[in-house]
Amino acid sequence: MENTKEKILDAALISFAENGYKGTNLRDLAGSLGLSKSALYKHYKSKEDIYNAVLDRMEAYYIANFDSADNAPFTPKSTDELLSMTMEMLDFTMHDKKIILTRQLLLTEQFRDQRTRRLATLHFLTGTRDNFAKIFAEMIKLGILKDEDPDMLSFAYTSPITTLLHYCDREPKKEEEIIGQIEEFIRHFIKTYSNK
C-alpha cells in the first residue's frame, strides 16, 4: 500500500508541476499508474489531499537534503570553500529531479493558496537568504569577510544566484553559460567583500 501511495505522489508531483493544479486530472493520473480513479481514492480522499501530501513530502525531502537548521551548510573556512560549497549546493538544486519539479510546481501554483505561497517564499528567498546570513556572520567573526551587515551580504549574494537559477530553469540549453555567470558573480562578490 505504501509503495502505491509513493507512486501516486511521484506521478502527482510531475503532473502538478507540468499541468498545474487545475490541469491535473485524477482520472488521467490514476490511468498513468494502471489504477482506476476509485482505486486512487482508496489512498487519498481528494485531489487537494494528494496536492498537500506532495507538498508535505517535498518539504521533508528539501529539508533532509539541503536546507534546514539541522542540515544547514557548514561555515566555510576560506573564500575558496565558500565558492565550492555554493557551487555544490547549486549543482544539487539544478540537477535533482524532485527539486526541479518542486520549484516548477511552486512557481506555477504560488498564488493558489497561502501554504504554497509561503513555501515559494521560503524556497526562493527567505530560507536560502537566512542560511547564508548565518554563514556570513560566522565568516565575518573568523575574519574571512569584511565586517558588513550579514543580512545585507546574504541578500546581495543570494538574489543574483536565485535569479540565474530561475533563468536556467527557463533556458536549460544555456546551463553552462549560466553556471559560468554564477561562478563569475561569486568571484566578484569574494573580491569585493573578502577581508584580504
Helices (H), the chain: 2-23, 26-32, 37-43, 47-65, 79-95, 97-109, 114-121, 127-141, 150-170, 175-193
**CB-neighbour burial class of residue 183 (10 A; exposed 0-12, middle 13-18, buried 19+):** middle
Q: What is the pLDDT of residue 46?
A: 93
Rounded distance between C-alpha atoms, residue 102 and residue 98, angstroms? 6
pLDDT band for position 1 (cuts 50, 70, 90): very low
Mean pLDDT calculated for residue range 9-24: 94
Mean pLDDT over each residue of the chain, to the nearest integer:
91
What is the predicted pLDDT for the residue at 70? Answer: 58
Question: What is the tens place of the pLDDT at every residue in 161-190?
Answer: 999 999 999 999 999 999 999 999 999 999
Q: pLDDT for 74-111, tens place per residue?
A: 789 999 999 999 999 899 889 999 999 999 999 999 99
pLDDT band at 72; cut points 50, 70, 90: low
Q: What percent of the chain has pLDDT over 70?
A: 95
For the cut 80, the answer to whether the pLDDT of residue 69 exceeds it is: no
